[in-house]
């Protein structure tokens, strides 16, 4: 269970870095609304990919 805390902290940090990366790439070139929309979309895709990886790990640990 202790490893779950580390994984959660790592996932949050990764999403924060992902959002900041989007800001660094397109910040200032597009409007703030567009930047916010792109950031939300990219972070949701990243969170979805992380959720898929978590489900895969849980399935493998259960032996399915």
Q: How many domains does the chain have?
A: 1
pLDDT of residue 64: 66
- CB neighbourhood size of 64 (10 A): 6
Task: Tell me the per-residue pLDDT of 3-36, one tens digit each, with 9 for 90 and over.
Answer: 789 889 999 999 999 999 999 999 889 999 999 9
Q: What is the CA radius of gyration of the chain?
A: 15
C-alpha 12/C-alpha 8 separation (Å) is 6
Give the residue numbers spanning the domain of 58.
2-62
Residue 30, helix vs strand vs coil? strand
* The model scores a pTM over 0.85: no
């Amino acid at each position: 269970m202790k490893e779950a805390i580390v994984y959660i902290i790592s996932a949050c940090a990764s999403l924060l870095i992902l959002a900041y990366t989007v800001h660094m790439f397109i910040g200032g070139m597009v409007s703030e609304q567009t930047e916010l929309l792109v950031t939300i979309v990219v972070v949701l895709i990243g969170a979805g990919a992380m959720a898929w990886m978590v489900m895969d790990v849980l399935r493998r640990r259960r032996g399915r």
